[in-house]
Chain A
Amino acid sequence: DAKTTQPNSMESNEEEPVHLPCNHSTISGTDYIHWYRQLPSQGPEYVIHGLTSNVNNRMASLAIAEDRKSSTLILHRATLRDAAVYYCILRDVGGGADGLTFGKGTHLIIQP
């Protein structure tokens, strides 16, 4: 899997939007962009994924740059429960047998 780069930490206020960036300049045409998060004392959980178009689900939105070399996870209205480590991961469409390659992720701190 290609490498991703994320800020070590970010801080935001409760009930405000949060934009978590991820750079993946060496992404290939068959790499999907996945986001997982890990709440304290829990295993990672899936957030969202996309290939080229922006994606929305009940948890978040994923904005993908036109050249696909970067993406942004958007939490529209952060709550204290969104405090977690967020991981941006590239996964090849044919990589069914491959494990997820986690970096250190972004530690998101939410202030009340």
Chain B
Amino acid sequence: DAGVTQSPTHLIKTRGQQVTLRCSPKSGHDTVSWYQQALGQGPQFIFQYYEEEERQRGNFPDRFSGHQFPNYSSELNVNALLLGDSALYLCASSLPTGTDTQYFGPGTRLTVL
């Protein structure tokens, strides 16, 4: 049973560019959450997708957007990249109820130059 997969593993972009990160959830999971983890910090919640809709959003600007496909996979898009967007981006999948475990992927390391 494949776990959560993310692509690409690493990515280098320059300021002002746009980036798309991809996530495939664990088999049987229909809910995908995205997190940003800066160096030395805990992950910060960006948003969650369920039934192809954004269900909840953390404190992130509109430059961060997402999408969920009918097969439950998801994309995270970041526009107008800033140096401060350099981080590890983590995807987690789960079932939609309150106490269900979130299963994390290995992350995508984004570097903005």
Q: Do A and B bind each other?
A: yes
Which residues of B are found within 8 Å of A103, using beta-carbon distances? Answer: 42
User: Are A43 and B44 touching (Cβ within 8 A)?
Assistant: no
User: Interface residues, chain A, CB within 8 Å of chain B?
Assistant: 32, 34, 41-46, 49, 85, 87, 91-105
Asked if A104 and B97 sit within 8 Å, CB to CB, the answer is no
B90 at interface by CB-CB < 8 Å? yes
Contacts between chains A and B (CB distance < 8 A), count: 71
A52–chain B nearest beta-carbon distance, Å: 13
Chain B interface residue count, Cβ-Cβ cutoff 8 angstroms: 31
- CB < 8 Å: which of B50, B56, B99 contacts A99? B56
Judging by beta carbons under 8 Å apart, are A105 and B42 in contact? yes
Instruction: Give which listed residue, B43, B56, B90, contacts A98 with CB less than 8 A.
Output: B56
Alpha-carbon separation in the docked complex, A74 to B42 (Å): 21
B105 contacts partner chain A, Cβ-Cβ < 8 Å: yes
Interface string of B26-37 (1 = CB under 8 A from A): 000001010100
- B41 near A104 with CB under 8 A, answer yes
Would you list which residues of chain B between 64 and 96 have a CB under 8 Å from chain A?
A: 90, 92, 96
Q: How far is the CA of A46 from the CA of B35 in the complex (A)?
A: 15
Q: Are B43 and A93 in contact (CB under 8 A)?
A: no
A96–B42 contact, CB under 8 A?
no
